[in-house]
């Protein structure tokens, strides 16, 4: 076909269509492709790649399904709900259903411990947080202007904020030495670098709780951030899509709570991006939200939202579900508990073979420290290790470089998108890999102490027993089976 000719394509199509601004050729997406071409299945493809690169929350679908069964009138496609079909099917106002906006505003407050209120009239919908980020960027910045983003950050931002808007993202370099804290010094340094390069900075984008770190920003950091953006008179976008995934202390503090305090803040500069993709586990529903404290931004983004409205059928269902206080309260509590439990099983499993993660209490992933497994402390060595993990250990984890991490050797590993059995297999593979490669494992004493401190669930005990047995055999004797063979056990 003629279109195969790249030059011809360049001539026929737009720069956006022929450029690679989407960022699809990064290792982050390559890992997904490796999984797609050989997906793990417990019985049908036990040698396949396990998807640990997808931040999905699949631990509470039973609760959602039960609610749907008990509330058939919430769907317009059931005998109980079909009477609403006509009204909902023809509805196409870009303000969205009033009850949908009210229910989402209430849910956002619940996800923040009801310490703060949200106005339904400030809720603007979009196609997931992905659409919300692009929409708010279109409202706040022109091509060539920039947003500062603390590293490491979610790779999708390079697509969502930059690709079609022509806006730039500039890293605020955060480091492991202080647990990747967003310091005033790092913010000033990034701002100064932009000025030296004659780039206009229009705002700062933070993710709280953080993807990929799984940590929450403390009050002091948030106050510093608010005073920084006020001093520079630039916008603050706070991506809070993991707000209700916090499973242990410290509590999540939303930017909305900080600006309610007595500190001086120009509220016109504050915008929250939210979605139901993570907290409820509905990425397929594409329910994204821009919540801006700036009236002009609310009006403009509402008009723009025509390009990515949430289907009225979805709005109708969500409105009904999120108005059920008893269900929502129970869901938030149960989801946090299950996430905390899964996080505990996974991090303890890693710790029993000497792998540490950044201390975290939120999100659907851990930030795994494999620096001591690198042949040398370079990003080339990180990629080499990543290829081994994908091709031989057959786990799709994401290398830190794809999150713009400033130090090689960190990997994001998702733990909530699979069942307990798959998690067991993943841990067993990691364990075999570590021991096979005779990398430094903890002493027998350390192993014992770590495991002794644990209260284990029955499924985690299965894995930990296996790990302990191997740990206690000898850290120097290579495991005689390949990770693939072990995966069948």
Ligand X SMILES: Cc1ncc(COP(=O)(O)O)c(C=O)c1O
- The Cα 59–Cα 62 span in angstroms is 8
Candidate segments 128-136, 307-315, 324-332, 351-359, binder of ligand X by CB under 6 A: 128-136
154 assigned to active site: yes
94 assigned to active site: no
Binding mask 148-187 for ligand X (x = CB under 6 A): ------x-x-------------------------------
Nearer to ligand X, 129 or 234 (CB): 129
- By the rule CB under 6 A, 239 interacts with ligand X: yes
- The Cα 404–Cα 400 span in angstroms is 7
Residue 397 contacts residue 50 (beta carbons within 8 Å) = no
- By the rule CB under 6 A, 339 interacts with ligand X: no
Binding mask 55-94 for ligand X (x = CB under 6 A): x---------------------------------------
Q: Smallest Cα–Cα separation from 481: which of 472, 470, 43, 348?
A: 470
CB of residue 180 vs ligand X: minimum separation in angstroms?
15
- Out of 48, 53, 96, 128, the only residue in the binding site for ligand X (CB under 6 A) is 128
- The Cα 360–Cα 370 span in angstroms is 16
The residues, any chain, with a CB within 8 Å of residue 138's CB and separated by 6 or more, are 165, 304
- What is the Cα 104 distance to its own chain's centre? 20
End-to-end Cα separation, the chain, in angstroms: 49
Nearer to ligand X, 285 or 293 (CB): 285
The residues, any chain, with a CB within 8 Å of residue 22's CB and separated by 6 or more, are 159, 163
Query: What φ, ψ does residue 359 adopt, rounded to 5°?
Result: -60, 125
- By the rule CB under 6 A, 214 interacts with ligand X: no
- Out of 207, 292, 301, 417, the only residue in the binding site for ligand X (CB under 6 A) is 207
Nearer to ligand X, 154 or 386 (CB): 154
Q: Does the N-terminal peptide bond of residue 212 adopt cis geometry, omega within 30 degrees of 0?
A: yes
Residue 483 contacts residue 394 (beta carbons within 8 Å) = yes
CB of residue 242 vs ligand X: minimum separation in angstroms?
7
Chain positions 397 to 416 lying near ligand X, rule: CB under 6 A, are: none
Residue with tokens 């990180």: 382
303 assigned to active site: no
Q: Give bridge partners of residue 169 from the DSSP assignment.
A: 147
* Residue of 239, 279, 424, 464 with catalytic role: 239
Candidate segments 110-118, 126-134, 350-358, 379-387, binder of ligand X by CB under 6 A: 126-134
397: left (phi over 0), alpha (psi -120 to 50) or beta: beta
- By the rule CB under 6 A, 432 interacts with ligand X: no
Chain positions 250 to 309 lying near ligand X, rule: CB under 6 A, are: 275, 277, 283, 288
* Residue of 154, 242, 274, 291 with catalytic role: 154
Binding mask 41-60 for ligand X (x = CB under 6 A): --------------x-----
- The Cα 287–Cα 282 span in angstroms is 8
- Out of 60, 76, 97, 129, the only residue in the binding site for ligand X (CB under 6 A) is 129
Nearer to ligand X, 254 or 470 (CB): 254
CB of residue 56 vs ligand X: minimum separation in angstroms?
8
CB of residue 260 vs ligand X: minimum separation in angstroms?
23
Q: Smallest Cα–Cα separation from 343: which of 351, 353, 333?
A: 351
- Out of 172, 241, 390, 434, the only residue in the binding site for ligand X (CB under 6 A) is 241
* Residue of 110, 202, 278, 466 with catalytic role: 278
CB of residue 478 vs ligand X: minimum separation in angstroms?
37
C-alpha angle 274-279-283 in degrees, rounded to nearest 5: 75
CB of residue 122 vs ligand X: minimum separation in angstroms?
18
CB of residue 90 vs ligand X: minimum separation in angstroms?
26
Binding mask 349-368 for ligand X (x = CB under 6 A): --------------------
241 assigned to active site: yes
Q: Which two tokens stand for residue 414?
A: 């998702």
From residue 404, alpha-carbon distances to 29, 132, 214, 409 in Å are: 14, 22, 16, 12
CB of residue 274 vs ligand X: minimum separation in angstroms?
9
Candidate segments 122-130, 138-146, 309-317, 405-413, binder of ligand X by CB under 6 A: 122-130
CB of residue 371 vs ligand X: minimum separation in angstroms?
24
- The Cα 26–Cα 28 span in angstroms is 5
Nearer to ligand X, 164 or 444 (CB): 164
Q: Give bridge partners of residue 201 from the DSSP assignment.
A: 146
Candidate segments 105-113, 127-135, 213-221, 248-256, binder of ligand X by CB under 6 A: 127-135
Q: Smallest Cα–Cα separation from 398: which of 383, 378, 380?
A: 383
Q: Which two tokens stand for residue 415?
A: 């733990």
The residues, any chain, with a CB within 8 Å of residue 190's CB and separated by 6 or more, are 148, 170, 171, 172, 173
- The Cα 171–Cα 151 span in angstroms is 6
Residue 172 contacts residue 184 (beta carbons within 8 Å) = no
CB of residue 413 vs ligand X: minimum separation in angstroms?
14
Nearer to ligand X, 55 or 300 (CB): 55
Q: Give bridge partners of residue 395 from the DSSP assignment.
A: 50
Binding site for ligand X (CB under 6 A): 55, 128-130, 154, 156, 207, 211, 239, 241, 275, 277, 283, 288
The residues annotated as belonging to the active site are 154, 239, 241, 278
């Amino acid at each position: 076909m003629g279109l195969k000719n790249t030059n011809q394509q360049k001539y026929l199509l737009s720069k956006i269509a022929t450029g690679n601004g989407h960022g699809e050729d990064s290792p982050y997406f390559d890992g997904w492709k490796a999984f797609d071409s050989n997906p793990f299945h417990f019985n049908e493809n036990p040698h396949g790649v396990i998807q640990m690169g997808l931040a999905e929350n699949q631990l509470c679908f039973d609760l959602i399904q039960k609610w749907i069964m008990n509330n058939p009138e919430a769907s317009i496609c059931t005998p109980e709900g079909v009477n609403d079909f006509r009204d909902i099917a023809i509805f196409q106002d870009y303000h969205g259903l009033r009850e949908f906006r009210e229910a989402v505003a209430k849910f956002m407050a619940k996800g923040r411990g009801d310490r703060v209120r949200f106005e339904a009239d400030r809720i603007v919908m979009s196609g997931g947080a992905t659409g919300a980020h692009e929409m708010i960027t279109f409202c706040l910045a022109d091509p060539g202007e920039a947003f500062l983003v603390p590293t490491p950050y979610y790779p999708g931002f390079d697509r969502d904020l930059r690709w079609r808007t022509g806006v730039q993202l500039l890293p605020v370099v955060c480091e492991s030495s202080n647990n990747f804290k967003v310091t005033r010094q790092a913010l000033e340094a990034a701002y100064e670098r932009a000025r030296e390069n004659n780039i206009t900075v229009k705002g700062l984008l933070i993710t709280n709780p953080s993807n990929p770190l799984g940590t929450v920003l403390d009050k002091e950091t948030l106050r510093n951030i608010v005073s920084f953006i006020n001093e520079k008179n630039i916008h603050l976008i706070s991506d809070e899509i993991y707000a209700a995934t916090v499973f242990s202390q410290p509590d999540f503090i939303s930017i909305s709570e900080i600006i309610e305090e007595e500190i001086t803040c120009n509220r016109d500069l504050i915008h929250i991006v939210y979605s139901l993709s993570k907290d409820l586990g509905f990425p397929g529903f594409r329910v994204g939200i821009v919540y801006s404290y700036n009236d002009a931004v609310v009006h403009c983004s509402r008009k723009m939202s025509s390009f990515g409205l949430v289907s009225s059928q979805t709005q109708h269902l969500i409105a009904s579900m999120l108005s059920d206080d008893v269900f929502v309260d129970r869901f938030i509590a149960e989801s946090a508990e299950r996430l905390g439990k899964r996080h505990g099983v996974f991090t303890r499993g890693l710790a029993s073979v000497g792998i540490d993660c950044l201390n975290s209490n939120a999100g659907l992933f851990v930030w795994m420290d494999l620096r001591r497994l690198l042949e040398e402390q370079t990003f080339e060595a990180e990629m080499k290790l990543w290829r081994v993990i994908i091709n031989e250990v057959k786990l799709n984890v994401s290398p830190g470089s794809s999150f713009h991490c400033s130090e090689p050797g960190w990997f994001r590993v998702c733990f909530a998108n699979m069942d307990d059995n798959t998690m067991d297999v993943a841990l067993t593979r990691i364990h075999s890999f570590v021991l096979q490669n005779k990398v430094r494992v903890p002493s027998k004493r350390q192993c014992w102490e770590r495991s002794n401190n644990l209260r284990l669930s029955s499924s985690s005990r299965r894995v930990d027993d296996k790990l302990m047995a191997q740990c206690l055999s000898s850290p120097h004797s290579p495991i005689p089976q390949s990770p693939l063979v072990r995966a069948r056990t």
